[in-house]
Chain A
Amino acid sequence: MLKPPKSLELDTHYCPGCGHGIIHRIVAEVVEELGIKKKTVAATSVGCSVVAYDYWDFDCCESAHGRALAVATAIKRCRPDLVVFTYQGDGDLASIGLSETIHSANRGENLTCIFVNNACYGMTGGQMAPTTLIDQKTATTPFGRKPELGDGWPVNICSILSLLEGVGFVARGSLFNPKEVLRTKQYIKRAFVNQLENKRFSIVEVLSPCPTVWNLSPIEALKFIENQMQKIFPIGIIKE
C-alpha cells in the first residue's frame, strides 16, 4: 500500500513541505488503480508544477498560463476515448485562466480538473493570488491583503462552478493531515471515474501548503491550512 506508483518519478524539484509531490502521487496512483495509464493525457500548467510532465509517466501537453482547459477541451473532443485532465494552480486557473475555467465548465466538457490552491503565486516569488486570504502577506500585499485597498477578496472557485449546469462534480480537499490526504484521493478518483462515465465537468480543489512563500515551517503550514484556509474554503463535496 505504501509502495509508490510506477507512473511517478520520485525525484522532484519541489521545496520541502510542498503539496505538489503529494498531489502528483495521488494522480499517479488513481491513474494506475483505474488502469487508464495508456489512455491518459494531461494538459499541464505554468507555475511551480510546470514540469509535472517530467514526473508522470503518461502523455502530457504543455499549455500556456491559464489555457490548460482550452487545450484539454480540444484533446477530449477530438479523442473522447482518452482520459484528459488538467493540473493547475490558483493563478493559472482562477486568475489568468478564469475565462477558460468558467467556459469549459459551462460547456460541460467531460474533463477532470485538479485545482491546486496554495493561496499564492509560488514560482514567481509569492505574489498575491485570487485565493490569497484577507490580511495574508505576500510579495505584492506587503501589509496583508486589504479589500479596502482594492486587493479584493479570496475567490471561491468551487462555489462559482457549482452553479453551472455543465458541472457534474465539485469537491474541495485538503492536505493538512493524512486522513484528509486520503479523502482528497477519493475525490480525485471520483473526478476521474466521472469522466469515464461521461458525467461532464469535474473539479477537485486541493488546499495545499506552500511553506516557502508563507514563511512557515512545513508543520506550521499544515496548521495554517487547518486554522485559516479551511475557514474561508470549507472542505467536502460541494456538488455531485
Chain B
Amino acid sequence: MKKILLAGNEAMAEAAILAGCYFYAGYPITPQNELINHLAKRMREENRVFIQAESELAAINMVMGASSLGFRAMTSSSSPGISLKQEGISYMAGCQLPAVIINAVRGGPGLGNIASSQSDYFQATRGGGHGDYFTVVLAPYSVQEAFNFVILAFDLADYYRNPVIVLADAIIAQMAEPVVFFKKGSFNKKIPPKNWALGRKDGIKKIVKSFFLKEGDLEKHNNILKKKWDKIRKNEQRYDTYRLDDAEYLIISYGSQARISQEAVDILRDKNIKVGLFRPVSLWPFPERFLKNISKKIKKFLVVEQSLGQMVEDVKLVLQTNDIYFLGKAGGGIPKASEIINFIKKI
C-alpha cells in the first residue's frame, strides 16, 4: 500500500475528509495550526463546509449546529482552546449529539507553553465541562494511529451519539511519519440511521435539547445517559501491549510518551530485565479489565507521563493500591528513556 509522509495534524485532517466529515469549524492555536490550515483548502476542494470561527466558543457551537442536522462535524484546538470549548461539549453530551474534537495538547495551566504535554488527561477523561457526562477519549501514539483514530472517532461518535476526543499531544500533532490511508476504521458495529436529526422533512417536529426543567425529568435523562456510559465502558476499552510476556516490571504510558517508554523497554530487555509496556489507547473508558487481569503477574508498576501525575490516579483506582511508582514531567518536560531505565534500576 502507498505510504504518504504527513505531519500528525495533516494526517488527522485527511482522515476527517476520508471519514466523511462534512463540517469543520476551528480557530487558530499552536500546535494545531496545520490542521485548520489544511482543512481550509481541502474542505473547500471537496465542496464541504469550512468556517474559521470568531472564537473557540463559536467553533464548538457551530459543530453542534451541523451535528443537529446529522452531518459529521469536527473541530480541533489545543489545550487553552479546548477549555473554552467545554461549554459546547457539555451541551452536545446532554443533547446526545455526535462530534469529533481533536486536542493537540500543550503545556499548561493558563497560557502555559506550546511544547508537548499530557496535562489535559483529567479534563478529557472526566467530562471536562459541567454536568454528569463522559466523552470517549482516544490517544494515538503515532501519526498512523492519529489518522486511524480520527476515522474511528467519527464511528464511535455516531454509534453512541456522543462527543469523542482525539487526545493527541503536540509531538504526535507536529511530527511527520509515513501514513497508509484506510477508509474503513476498526469499528465494525452498524451505525443506526440518524432519525433524531433536524431538517428531515418527514413532517415530524424534532427538538434537540438538554434542558429538562420538570421535576424528575432531568434525572430520568441522566439515567438514560448513564446506561450509555456503562455500555461504552463495557464495549470500548482499547489498549496495546509491548513485550509483556514474562514481564515482572510494567511500564504504563500513553501517546507520544509510550514511544519513549517502548525504547526504554527494549534497552532494559537487552540487559535481561523483564519489563513490558501497557499502553492505554482509550483513556476513557480506561482499559481496566486487561490491566486487572495481568496485574497478578507483575511485581512492580511504573506510570510514566508528560504530566505531574494524572493517569497514575486511574491506575491506582484500577489496581486498588497506592503502591505504584510514578515518573512524570510537566510544562514541556519529557521523561527520557535513560531516566526511565535509571528509575527501573532503582526500584
Contacts and interface: CB of A to CB of B under 8 A. Distances in A.
B311 interface: no
A67 B211 contact: no
A39 to B, nearest CB: 7
A72 interface: yes
Interface residues of A, number: 31
A72 B180 CA distance: 37
Contact of B211 (A50, A72, A74, A82): A50
A64 B198 contact: no
SS class of chain A's interface: helix, strand, loop or mixed? Answer: helix
B209 A62 contact: yes
SS class of chain B's interface: helix, strand, loop or mixed? Answer: mixed
Pick from A53, A60, A77, A79 the residue with the most CB of B within 10 Å: A77
A63 B67 CA distance: 12
A75 interface: yes
B209 A67 contact: no
A141 B61 CA distance: 32
A168 B47 CA distance: 26
Give the size range of B's interface with the partner.
Answer: 35 or more
A70 interface: yes
Contacts of A78: 22-23, 49, 65-66, 69, 71
Pick from A53, A62, A70, A102 the residue with the most CB of B within 10 Å: A70
Nearest to A73: B62
B220 interface: no
A64 B91 contact: yes
A63 B210 CA distance: 9
25 contacts: A41-B198, A51-B211, A57-B205, A59-B198, A59-B199, A61-B68, A61-B198, A62-B207, A62-B208, A67-B57, A67-B61, A67-B87, A70-B64, A73-B58, A73-B65, A74-B51, A74-B61, A74-B63, A75-B198, A77-B66, A79-B199, A82-B199, A99-B55, A99-B57, A103-B58
